[in-house]
Amino acid sequence: MYSHIVCALLCLLPNITVILSMWDEWWTYDGISGPSRWGSYNTEWELCDKGRFQSPIDINPARMIFDPNLQPLNITNEKIDGVLMNTGHDIRISLNKSHGSQINITGGPLSYKYTIYQIKLHLGTENDKGSEHKVAGKAFPAEIQLLAYNSELYANVTHAKKSPYGIAVVAILAALKDLGNQHFSVLVRAAEKLKEKGLFTDLYKFSLSEILPTTLSYITYEGSLTQPGCQETATWVILNRPMYISNYQLEKLRGLTRGNGIGDPLMENNFRPVQPDNRRLVRTNIPVKEEPDCDIKKTTSYTVNNKLKPS
Ligand SMILES: *[C@@H]1O[C@H](CO)[C@@H](O)[C@H](O)[C@H]1NC(C)=O
Ligand SMILES: *[C@@H]1O[C@H](CO)[C@@H](O)[C@H](O)[C@H]1NC(C)=O
Ligand SMILES: *[C@@H]1O[C@H](CO)[C@@H](O)[C@H](O)[C@H]1NC(C)=O
Ligand SMILES: *[C@@H]1O[C@H](CO)[C@@H](O)[C@H](O)[C@H]1NC(C)=O
């Protein structure tokens, strides 16, 4: 890859800030411009290295705190008009703002209204990796993220990303099943046309609600965006039920490349490794009575300070 070589050279220059703006697209998920280097490439991405509230994390069910005050999450049920694009980093839907089909997220742990601006897909080469978040050390074959910005406080995504309570991300972990979510095939079929980086296609009236698992329970914590600049303004909400995806669907997505020609590297393995949780609070509303189809098992462990115990 050319960009890798050029990048290695530029890193040696003493003053590179002027040319950094063109680097926006140059980071990767492996090699010399991979996740462990993001923070040193661009001063605006410092948090990727130095941040203490980074995402994704490995969710330890034994450390989750049950919070009965967590409200049900409310995602409005509109159909999406947008553009599905192979960015080289991921396959994503950017929602058409002008088309009036705005999807808002409220409730849950959120105190503001958030409007979805992008839907991103992360996946791996094998079935035991691909998701960004892990649960008890285990990764899932894919993760779908609904990225939303605080449209009550901020005029646009750029502003929201660097502002308090700017972003909310709803994450759906994907699990394998013989028969994958049929509606997800609409996306897969559209994505198949986007083998090369930079290709895009219009997506009309895509129904988000048909790929969202029906569950009221979730896990939430405060973290960051998982791509540069890793801004620590994101409230994460991880749904407590997977979306089902078939091997066939997964294989089709794994065939996408992050280049512009034959022999280019595949896009797969576009997940950031888990980051230290630094004793962060991870809350859940998973009810004590487990849902029958629940994949993320609840274990609560309370340690009560002796001084607080009634004598
Ligand atoms: C969900 O949001 C919609 C639109 O803002 C609102 O009309 C509805 O009452 C909300 N539902 C719940 C359960 O909060
Ligand atoms: C979305 O907007 C772009 C440009 O703003 C337009 O070219 C495209 O046709 C729109 N797509 C849909 C699905 O509305
Ligand atoms: C979502 O929020 C936006 C911005 O506040 C608003 O214009 C839009 O009508 C809302 N959509 C729905 C479906 O409630
Ligand atoms: C985003 O909003 C900020 C603050 O309202 C404004 O200064 C900036 O120009 C806007 N940026 C874009 C890209 O619209």
Q: Which domain CATH number covers 138?
A: 3.10.200.10
Per the structure, the complete domain to which residue 154 belongs is given by: 44-62+69-281
Q: Which of 26, 36, 29, 22 minimizes the C-alpha distance to 5?
A: 26
Residue from 29, 114, 154, 218 carrying the catalytic annotation: 154
151 within ligand 4 shell (Cβ under 6 A): no
Q: 109 in a domain, yes or no?
A: yes
Q: Is the CB of 159 under 6 A from ligand 4?
A: yes
In a domain, 295, yes or no: no
**How open is the CA angle 148-124-272, to the nearest 5 degrees?**
55
Whether 154 is catalytic: yes
Cβ(182) – ligand 4 distance below 6 Å: no
Ligand 4 contact, 158 CB (< 6 A): yes
Ligand 3 atom at minimum distance from 76 CA: 13
> What are the pLDDT tens digits along the chain (311 aa)?
334 433 343 333 333 333 333 455 678 898 888 999 999 888 899 999 999 999 999 999 999 999 999 999 999 988 888 999 999 889 999 997 765 678 999 999 999 999 999 999 999 999 999 999 999 999 999 999 999 999 999 999 999 999 999 999 999 999 999 998 999 999 999 999 998 888 999 988 889 989 998 888 999 999 999 999 999 999 999 999 999 999 999 999 998 888 876 677 787 899 999 999 999 999 999 876 555 555 555 444 444 444 444 44
Helices (H) and strands (E) counted in the chain, each on its own, are: 6, 16
**What CA–CA distances, in Å, run from 174 to 129, 142, 274?**
11, 5, 17
Q: What count of Cα atoms within 13 Å lies in the side-chain half-sphere of residue 84? A: 20
Residue pair 295/240 in contact by the 8 Å Cβ criterion: yes
Cα(94) to centroid(ligand 1), Å: 24
Q: Are strands 73-75 and 234-239 parallel, antiparallel or unpaired?
A: unpaired
Residue 128: inside a domain? yes
Distance from residue 12's CA to the centre of ligand 2 (Å): 41
Distance between CA atoms of 304 and 203, rounded to whole angstroms?
52
Cis peptide before 56 (omega within 30 of 0): yes
User: Residue 9 falls within a domain, yes or no?
Assistant: no
Q: Answer yes or no: are the C-beta atoms of 195 and 261 closer than 8 Å.
A: no
Q: Is 76 in the pocket of ligand 1 (CB under 6 A)?
A: yes
3-state secondary structure 18-42: HHHHHHHHCCCCCHHHCCCCHHHHC
Distance 152 CA to ligand 3 centre (A): 10
- Look at residue 30 in the predicted model and tell me its pLDDT: 86
**What's the gap between Cα 294 and its chain centre?**
20
The answer to whether the CB of 141 falls within 8 A of the CB of 129 is yes
Number of domains in the chain: 1
Ligand that comes closest to the CA of residue 158: 4
Determine the distance separating the centroid of ligand 2 and the alpha carbon of 96, expressed in angstroms. 6
**Residue 193 lies inside a defined structural domain of this protein:** yes
Structure tokens of 62?
């034994």
185 C-beta closer than 6 A to ligand 3: no
Residue 224, domain member (yes or no)? yes
What pLDDT shows up at residue 58?
Answer: 97
